[in-house]
């Protein structure tokens, strides 16, 4: 969940500890290196610096783009039934002459094609909050718990929605420690509908704390 580093074992553990403390800006220790063995001081210091940077600038949790609109292809049976209904409505079975039949066929050909396409391609829109994977965000907040003493930090991220952006109808911001920072990036996305959600390090689930346009 933290940025990839070519460390393993104890070095990785100390880097992650440093990152978590740097991110939450844990100032409970006068000397942040107390208890850190000499062999791990460099990676721990790197973690502190990285955590502080992400804490100030936001942490990216992927994915950032979410598809809300899904096109469903109907079965041939559904399409055929729909076309049969259209034929009955147009009364094509009651054409009086061959010439009239040809003219009628030409007249409704486009309408039938449009109807077939509309029946075959039906869409539905997902609930924006339902597509968010809580575990992706919970994993990050839980990773911050390595600081040791119980810590409660409220984090924020925004989701901007525009149903005209195919394949990325909802776009998430980075995760911030400040609601104002999350809202600022959300506004910069320029989407007509948006919401800011909060998640705490000591609980699961999201809370909508700000929204606009919907």
3-state helix, strand, coil in the chain (%, to 5): 50, 20, 30
Residues in the chain: 214
Minimal CA–CA distance to 45: which of 14, 2, 24, 23?
Answer: 14
**CB–CB of 119/163 below 8 Å?**
no
Q: Which of 4-8, 127-131, 189-193, 204-208 has the highest mean pLDDT?
A: 189-193
Report the pLDDT averaged over residues 95-117: 52
pLDDT digits (tens, 9 = 90+) for 111-166: 555 545 544 456 778 888 889 988 888 888 888 877 766 567 889 999 999 999 99
Q: Where is 29: in which H helix or E strand?
A: none
Collapse the DSSP code of 122 into the 3-class scheme (helix H, G, I; strand E, B; otherwise coil) and give the result: strand
| Joined tokens for residue 152 | 């409660």
Distance CA 193, CA 195 (A): 7
| Joined tokens for residue 99 | 């010439």
pLDDT digits (tens, 9 = 90+) for 41-79: 999 999 999 999 999 999 999 999 999 998 876 555 545
Average pLDDT of the chain to the nearest whole number: 80
Percentage, residues of the chain above pLDDT 70 = 71
pLDDT of residue 93: 46
| Joined tokens for residue 146 | 């390595």
**CB–CB of 49/22 below 8 Å?**
yes
The backbone region for 17, taken as left when phi is positive above 0, alpha when psi lies in -120 to 50, beta otherwise, is alpha
């Amino acid at each position: 969940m933290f940025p990839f580093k070519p460390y393993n074992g104890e070095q990785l553990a100390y880097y992650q500890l440093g990152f978590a403390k740097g991110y939450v800006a844990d100032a409970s220790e006068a000397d942040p290196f107390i208890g850190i063995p000499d062999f791990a001081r460099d990676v721990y210091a790197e973690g502190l610096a990285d955590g502080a940077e992400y804490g100030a600038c936001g942490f990216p949790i992927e994915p950032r783009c979410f598809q809300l609109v899904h096109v469903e292809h109907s079965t041939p049976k559904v399409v055929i039934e729909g076309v049969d209904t259209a034929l009955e409505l147009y009364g094509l079975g009651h054409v009086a002459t061959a010439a009239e039949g040809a003219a009628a066929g030409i007249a409704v050909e486009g309408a039938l094609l449009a109807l077939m396409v509309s029946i075959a391609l039906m869409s539905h829109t997902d609930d924006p909050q339902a597509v968010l994977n809580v575990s992706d965000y919970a994993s990050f907040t839980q990773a911050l718990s390595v600081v040791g003493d119980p810590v409660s930090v409220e984090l924020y991220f925004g989701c901007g929605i525009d149903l005209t952006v195919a394949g990325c109808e909802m776009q998430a911001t980075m995760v911030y420690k400040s609601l104002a920072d999350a809202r600022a990036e959300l506004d910069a996305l320029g989407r007509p509908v948006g919401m800011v959600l909060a998640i705490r390090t000591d609980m699961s689930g999201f809370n909508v704390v700000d929204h606009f346009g919907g």
